[in-house]
Chains A and B, each alone.
Chain A
Amino acid sequence: MASKSSQIDSIVDVVTPENIAFHYQAAGPFRRFPAFVLDLLIRVGVFAALAIVLAIFGVTVGVTGIALAGTLIFWFLSAWFYGGAFETWMNGQTPGKWVMGLRVLSVDGQPINGIQAVLRNILRTLDLMPIGNCMVGLVSMTINGSFQRLGDIVCGTMVVVEERKWLTGVAKLEDPRVAQLAGYLPADFVVSRTLARTLSAYIDRRRFFSLARRREVARHLAEPLLSRFGFPRDTSYDLLLCALYHRTFVAHLGEEASVSTAAGESPFSDSQELPPLAIDVTKAATPADNAIQTPTST
């Protein structure tokens, strides 16, 4: 794959002052929007609750003016400092951002400081212009490759998505024919890095495909490989790629190829109903530890 920076994507490269590079997914306006709404709802909710409590208190004690002033002061403070305070306290997150898995970082990958947090939130007013419809912020984020609004540009910050990616281990291929066929692969065939990645991607996704789709997808790569290995043309495409994957990622882990296959079952066939297929053993390299009987047609 091309380096990520050359592709049109929301991934940005961040190089820390220690010269360590990270890839982050920059959060755009639409990814941020639910977090913004959530924070707004929290603010309004707390404000409403506080207003009710202060109103009851004011009426009961007879200090309605003070209660009203307290409510307005709270609204003023929450409007201007809610985001700044939380982002300082929660290391670049507000409750809304925390729920949505977002975090504010400095453009050099460092955590933001209090000044950055407060200033970028105060400058949100500018991004909400011209009349609270966020068009200035939207245009700014569209023009900017890291989806920075004006407040972010001024403060040297950006919002990134904090996603934990699950790293899948080596796939377990239950079919005994996979290991069997892997034994017939030429020993001198070197799996390149790109081929290994491709095989890994295929094996990772094949369980979501129907049998027909597997065949359709695997055909592209399996056909040239069949020619190269000199295997029969009707060898199962899916099985061949699984066998290559097995040899590349599994075989060296010490798992022995299973030989307990049913009589007459061919490692070259996708269907157990098919009769054993002929194989030109002179073309296919014999593995060193070949305990499998070469299936031959009768």
Chain B
Amino acid sequence: MQLDNTRIAIRERNLLDTLDLALHVIRHYPRELLVTFLVAAVPLAILNDYLLGWILDVEYREAFFYLEEYGAVWRFWWSMTLLVFIEAPLASIFITAFLGQAVFVDRPSLRQVFGVVGKIRKAFPNVRKIWQVFGDVRRTLGRLVWCQLLVRGILPFWLLVFAIDRYDDFNLGIEIFGIGGLALYAFLMRAVRPFINEIVLLERNPLRAKDPTAITIGRRSSQLHGPSSGDLFAKWMATAVMGTLLTVGVAATFVFLSGTLFNDWQPGPAMIRFMYPASMWIVILYLSVVRFLSYLDLRIRHEGWEVELRLRAEASRQLGKLGLGIRE
């Protein structure tokens, strides 16, 4: 691995260039990105359908409460949009881990991302060995649980959605103020602190440290995001607008395909139940790549990361000349 010979070109980019470059990255790694995304997104999509799919179930709706179809569609649309939005960073954890390697390695292997799964499979059924393997990743897992599930409000959101009374036609407190408020909180958190996945998974800072000078996740996050929070907020808003337009575009394509293939131009509840979340997940895959590239861009702008990589690569060459080997 030569640090100044990166696979993804490292240089300063504006948001539009980053959005374009993400398409190039997807073109180069379509299979890997799809697999790493689906591994996280499919369980979440199944969970979401369990949590909210009943709203569009006609028989259930008619049996337990009365709500017009358009009312049910709007209710589903609102809750599902917020749910997928809040889960998006969780769905991109494997993509982030993969792209972290893809910057430097020509053809990164999926085994490196899911290596722990293979180790657990080999260790099966020895519980002790499994626990040992699990021990390697439990710190990262713990940090993710804390940062994403708790601090970013995913777990409380799931609990709130689960608490919706399924025999009532609408729960104003939970469905508007509860999940709406949580989504707004997550929105603001992610707008000013978007790169928490990258800090946890790639930089691997500890959650807490006894040494006051140690760089914990919180300190690193403040250090990275703090100086440019205004800029990040503006970029995040622009990306959110672009994401919304893309979601509408992809959903409209599904409607078009349904119309031309099945002569069904009016998407019914069944169509909305699966196609609308699918449209959102497709766009989230793309935006996950955009977020990773924006992280690289922020590090280049604020920390001169590309210069640091060059210096480290040159240092390796100098050490090679001195016969001292390559420093890690």
Which residue numbers of A lie inside 8 Å of B, CB to CB? 1-2, 4, 7-11, 25, 27-31, 33-34, 130-131, 133-135, 138, 141-143, 145, 147, 192, 194-195, 197-198, 201-202, 205-206, 208-209, 213, 217-218, 220-221, 223-225, 227-228
Write out the residue numbers on chain A whose beta carbons fall within 8 Å of the beta carbon of B242: 30
Known interface pairs A130-B253, A142-B26; A8-B8 also in contact (CB < 8 Å):
yes
Shortest Cβ gap from B235 to chain A (Å):
13
Q: A34 near B16 (CB under 8 angstroms)?
A: yes
Q: A217 near B311 (CB under 8 angstroms)?
A: yes
Write out the residue numbers on chain A whose beta carbons fall within 8 Å of the beta carbon of B17: 10, 25, 28, 31
Known interface pairs A195-B314, A224-B319; A28-B19 also in contact (CB < 8 Å):
yes
B214 at the interface (CB under 8 A from A): no
Q: A220 near B308 (CB under 8 angstroms)?
A: yes
Whole-angstrom CA separation of A218 from B312 in the bound complex: 9
Known interface pairs A131-B256, A133-B252, A224-B319; A198-B314 also in contact (CB < 8 Å):
yes
Q: A30 near B19 (CB under 8 angstroms)?
A: yes
Question: Which single residue of chain A is at the shortest CB-CB distance from B3?
Answer: A220
B20 at the interface (CB under 8 A from A): yes
Write out the residue numbers on chain A whose beta carbons fall within 8 Å of the beta carbon of B19: 28, 30-31
B7 at the interface (CB under 8 A from A): yes
Besides the known contacts A8-B7, A205-B307, A220-B315, 4 further A-B residue pairs in the complex with CB atoms under 8 A apart: A131-B256, A135-B249, A194-B4, A227-B322
Shortest Cβ gap from A17 to chain B (Å):
27
Write out the residue numbers on chain A whose beta carbons fall within 8 Å of the beta carbon of B138: none
Shortest Cβ gap from A188 to chain B (Å):
13
Shortest Cβ gap from A138 to chain B (Å):
8
B139 at the interface (CB under 8 A from A): no
Q: B315 near A223 (CB under 8 angstroms)?
A: yes
B317 at the interface (CB under 8 A from A): yes
Q: A134 near B249 (CB under 8 angstroms)?
A: yes
List which B21-50 residues lie within 8 A (CB) of chain A: 21, 23-28
Q: A205 near B21 (CB under 8 angstroms)?
A: no
Q: A30 near B304 (CB under 8 angstroms)?
A: no
B171 at the interface (CB under 8 A from A): no
Q: A201 near B310 (CB under 8 angstroms)?
A: yes
Whole-angstrom CA separation of A27 from B28 in the bound complex: 18
Q: Please indicate which of the listed interface residues B17, B23, B252, B322 has the most CB atoms of chain A within 10 Å of its own CB.
A: B23
B248 at the interface (CB under 8 A from A): yes
Whole-angstrom CA separation of A80 from B313 in the bound complex: 53
Q: 12 A-B residue contacts at CB 8 Å? A: A130-B253, A130-B257, A131-B252, A135-B252, A145-B24, A194-B4, A198-B311, A206-B304, A209-B304, A218-B311, A220-B311, A221-B312
9 A-B pairs with the lowest CB-CB distances in the bound complex, closest first: A28-B20, A9-B9, A30-B19, A133-B249, A224-B318, A7-B9, A130-B256, A221-B311, A198-B314
Q: A27 near B20 (CB under 8 angstroms)?
A: yes
Shortest Cβ gap from A35 to chain B (Å):
10
Shortest Cβ gap from A192 to chain B (Å):
8
B63 at the interface (CB under 8 A from A): no
Whole-angstrom CA separation of A30 from B246 in the bound complex: 11
B250 at the interface (CB under 8 A from A): yes
Write out the residue numbers on chain B whose beta carbons fall within 8 Å of the beta carbon of A205: 304, 307
Query: Count the A-B residue pairs with Cβ separation under 8 angstroms: how many?
Result: 128
B203 at the interface (CB under 8 A from A): no
Q: A194 near B314 (CB under 8 angstroms)?
A: yes
Known interface pairs A7-B8, A31-B20, A228-B322; A213-B25 also in contact (CB < 8 Å):
no
Question: Which single residue of chain A is at the shortest CB-CB distance from B248?
Answer: A133
B6 at the interface (CB under 8 A from A): yes
Question: Which single residue of chain A is at the shortest CB-CB distance from B320?
Answer: A224
Known interface pairs A10-B17, A205-B307, A217-B308; A28-B23 also in contact (CB < 8 Å):
yes
Whole-angstrom CA separation of A27 from B19 in the bound complex: 11
Write out the residue numbers on chain B whose beta carbons fall within 8 Å of the beta carbon of A208: 304
Shortest Cβ gap from B19 to chain A (Å):
4
Known interface pairs A1-B4, A30-B20, A141-B23; A11-B253 also in contact (CB < 8 Å):
no
Q: Please indicate which of the listed interface residues B4, B303, B306, B310 has the most CB atoms of chain A within 10 Å of its own CB.
A: B310
Write out the residue numbers on chain B whose beta carbons fall within 8 Å of the beta carbon of A1: 4-5
Write out the residue numbers on chain A whose beta carbons fall within 8 Å of the beta carbon of B8: 7-9
Question: Which single residue of chain B is at the shortest CB-CB distance from A136?
Answer: B253
Known interface pairs A143-B27, A220-B315, A224-B318; A10-B249 also in contact (CB < 8 Å):
no
Q: Please indicate which of the listed interface residues A4, A135, A218 has the most CB atoms of chain B within 10 Å of its own CB.
A: A135
Q: B21 near A8 (CB under 8 angstroms)?
A: yes
Write out the residue numbers on chain A whose beta carbons fall within 8 Å of the beta carbon of B172: none
Q: Which of B6, B23, B255, B324 contacts A224 (CB 8 A)?
A: B324
Write out the residue numbers on chain A whose beta carbons fall within 8 Å of the beta carbon of B9: 4, 7-9, 11
Whole-angstrom CA separation of A283 from B170 in the bound complex: 82
Whole-angstrom CA separation of A49 from B310 in the bound complex: 56
Q: A221 near B315 (CB under 8 angstroms)?
A: yes
Whole-angstrom CA separation of A195 from B316 in the bound complex: 11
Whole-angstrom CA separation of A25 from B16 in the bound complex: 13
List which B84-121 residues lie within 8 A (CB) of chain A: none
Q: B315 near A224 (CB under 8 angstroms)?
A: yes
